Chain A
Amino acid sequence: MTVSELPIAVEARHDFADLASRPVLKRKRPGQLIAMVVVGLFAVMGAYVIVTNPGFGWPTVAKYLLDIRILNGLLTTIELTVIAMVLGLVIGLVIAVMRMSDNALLRGVAGAYIWFFRGTPLMVQMLFWGFAAVLFPTIGIGIPGGPMLVEWNTNDVLPLFVAGILGLGLNEGAYMAEIVRAGLMGVPAGQSEASHAMGFSRMETLRHVVIPQAMKIILPPVGNETISMLKTTSLVIVIGVGDLLYNAQQIYARNLQQIPLLIVASLWYILLTTILSLVQARIEKRYSRGNNIQARKA
């Protein structure tokens, strides 16, 4: 029976004045209870397996969690993340601005950069940097086809750590360029126009007006990229940089405790991502200054 079919007399029997004086009841939702029971059961089963299966090797996990080799690897992972992200951001900003330039040549160069670094797998790029010495045994400054003024052995100036940074940072720059570009384009054109009308140059406008407002569009994806980068750094194992995962591998290659050492690495990764998420939330809050403020478009 739909509402419209309800006989009016049924409603009229209620004393609405009396009903109005009492608080409304909350209808029971049995589905929620069932979900709770199901999730609870799975949680207990999971916990049971984790505690009782000796394969997890919790004593081994505890033993290696603070091992000096693990901590050294952790430090390398953090260094790789920070330096590669800074490099990626700087490249991304430059490429994004180039891509939005009036100059067709600069736009083309920026487009080609993004095309190349997004178009090939990061693992392959990483291997290329690792084997750079094969391609260019020496690097230096000189006249093309003429004599070299300064020259170095590639393996001396490009240690594996630097190769890893270049692999990660140059690739990140391509993705970051698109994030920055989206942010810059997200700032209404009227903002730049008002700035130009006041007499600010293009660069000043970018610096004082556009970038500060693009930040709140750019930051959430940059946070994502940073968290993603923390874990992507583990790709440096293909060129033998001693990061967290590499050092864990080195240990289990000898003692064959693969699972416990992978758990050790995972625990550190998850701790760091948790910290990064908290930092991200904080920074986003700071940059939401004057939120929702876009010049109203008429």
Chain B
Amino acid sequence: MSEVQFLNVHKDFSGMEVLKGINFTVESGQVACLIGPSGSGKSTLLRCVNHLETTSSGTILVGGRMIGYEVHGDRLIEAHQKDINKRRSRIGMVFQSFNLFGHMTALENVMMGPVKLLKVPKAQAEAEARELLAKVGLADRTGHYPAQLSGGQQQRVAIARALSMKPDLMLFDEPTSALDPELVGEVLDVMKALARDGMTMIVVTHEMGFAREVADVVAFMDGGIIVEAGDPNEIISRPQHERTKAFLSKVL
């Protein structure tokens, strides 16, 4: 089970409240899209799921287990770094700026996690990495360094790298925002295939077409709260709130 539950999640950034009590659930196997203007807190919320950001109060459960914190008496305390690392290894993350390791080839990027963290034998890890790169359509680019790949190709390698850890959950932080328009499609196609395979995904995106087509649930965020959430067609075609309407009228 890999459902994600946000329970009254708050976050302060040196006095500025960027998350003001988020309550939201993503069921196992669902695709959730977080949409909203920049500065609305959607990326911060996503980064709390694998504890790249700390929270001020509230809880995030992944697969029913609290992440980043543990109960200490009647309060929460930050979990042991080892436990956090272990949880993170089961959660794949894809960044806006790809963040492929520059000194490694595409193949080495995808092999690295299994070899160094999961202690998978090199030959087996390489075979699996080649399979993953083929899955994202880059079977002929295994020996290329990130600098020799286009943005779309780099992002697909980054997805393969995240998948190499056999995650239960995938987080996407504006995966296509840094791409040239004609390269967006190839990345979205890989993500759609992933969704069809039943991967649980939380996607921060500005791609309304993708949200409408792939998402099971869409949440519109503004000012650190979820203004409205629900069926993508309902939210995108018939928004109830003024702020949602105003936002969608600008991006659609």
Check if B96 sits within 8 Å of A298, measured CB to CB.
Answer: yes
Check if B178 sits within 8 Å of A212, measured CB to CB.
Answer: no
A-B contact count (CB 8 A): 93
B14 interface residue (CB < 8 Å to A): no
B146 interface residue (CB < 8 Å to A): yes
Check if B89 sits within 8 Å of A199, measured CB to CB.
Answer: yes
Q: List 9 A-B contacts (CB under 8 A).
A: A193-B95, A193-B99, A197-B52, A198-B165, A199-B89, A292-B147, A293-B100, A294-B102, A295-B97
CA distance A298 to B177 in the complex (A): 8
Other-chain contact of B99, A190, A212, A289 (Cβ < 8 Å)? A190
**B83-119: which residues lie under 8 A (CB-CB) from chain A?**
85-91, 93, 95-105, 112-113, 116-117
A291: B residues at CB distance < 8 A: 147
Check if B50 sits within 8 Å of A197, measured CB to CB.
Answer: yes
- In the assembled complex, the CB of A210 is this many whole angstroms from the nearest CB of chain B, namely 10
CA distance A296 to B150 in the complex (A): 11
A-contact bits for B226-247, CB 8 A (1 contact / 0 none):
0000000000000000000000
CA distance A172 to B91 in the complex (A): 43
| A293-B103, A293-B145, A298-B177 known; A204 vs B97 contact (CB < 8 Å) | no
| A190-B95, A193-B52, A197-B88 known; A204 vs B116 contact (CB < 8 Å) | yes
| A199-B89, A208-B112 known; A290 vs B147 contact (CB < 8 Å) | yes
Q: What is the total number of residues of chain B having a CB less than 8 Å from a CB of chain A?
A: 38
A298 to chain B: closest residue by CB = B178
CA distance A155 to B91 in the complex (A): 59
Check if B95 sits within 8 Å of A191, measured CB to CB.
Answer: no
B105: A residues at CB distance < 8 A: 290
CA distance A294 to B145 in the complex (A): 11
CA distance A191 to B85 in the complex (A): 16
A288 to chain B: closest residue by CB = B103
A294: B residues at CB distance < 8 A: 102
A157 interface residue (CB < 8 Å to B): no
**A180-223: which residues lie under 8 A (CB-CB) from chain B?**
188, 190-191, 193-202, 204, 208-209, 212-213
B151 interface residue (CB < 8 Å to A): yes
CA distance A193 to B173 in the complex (A): 13
B-contact bits for A255-283, CB 8 A (1 contact / 0 none):
00000000000000000000000000000
A208: B residues at CB distance < 8 A: 112, 116
CA distance A199 to B104 in the complex (A): 18
CA distance A194 to B90 in the complex (A): 14
B249 interface residue (CB < 8 Å to A): no
A297 interface residue (CB < 8 Å to B): yes
Check if A191 sits within 8 Å of B145, measured CB to CB.
Answer: no
- In the assembled complex, the CB of A194 is this many whole angstroms from the nearest CB of chain B, namely 4
B145: A residues at CB distance < 8 A: 289-290, 293
B178: A residues at CB distance < 8 A: 296, 298
Check if A290 sits within 8 Å of B177, measured CB to CB.
Answer: no
A199, A289, A290, A295, most chain B CB atoms within 10 A? A199
Check if A194 sits within 8 Å of B101, measured CB to CB.
Answer: yes
A-contact bits for B32-56, CB 8 A (1 contact / 0 none):
0000000000000000001010000
**B151-186: which residues lie under 8 A (CB-CB) from chain A?**
151, 154, 158, 161-162, 165, 177-178
A216 to chain B: closest residue by CB = B103
- In the assembled complex, the CB of A260 is this many whole angstroms from the nearest CB of chain B, namely 50
Check if B97 sits within 8 Å of A199, measured CB to CB.
Answer: no
Check if A200 sits within 8 Å of B101, measured CB to CB.
Answer: no
A208, A209, A212, A293, most chain B CB atoms within 10 A? A293
CA distance A194 to B221 in the complex (A): 25
- In the assembled complex, the CB of B94 is this many whole angstroms from the nearest CB of chain A, namely 9
Besides the known contacts A197-B93, A204-B117, A208-B112, 4 further A-B residue pairs in the complex with CB atoms under 8 A apart: A194-B93, A198-B113, A290-B147, A296-B154
A196: B residues at CB distance < 8 A: 52, 85, 88
B147: A residues at CB distance < 8 A: 290-293
CA distance A290 to B147 in the complex (A): 7
A295: B residues at CB distance < 8 A: 97-100, 102, 146
CA distance A201 to B117 in the complex (A): 10
CA distance A212 to B108 in the complex (A): 14
- In the assembled complex, the CB of A88 is this many whole angstroms from the nearest CB of chain B, namely 24
| A199-B113, A295-B97 known; A213 vs B85 contact (CB < 8 Å) | no
CA distance A212 to B102 in the complex (A): 10
CA distance A196 to B177 in the complex (A): 22
CA distance A230 to B96 in the complex (A): 46
CA distance A190 to B104 in the complex (A): 15
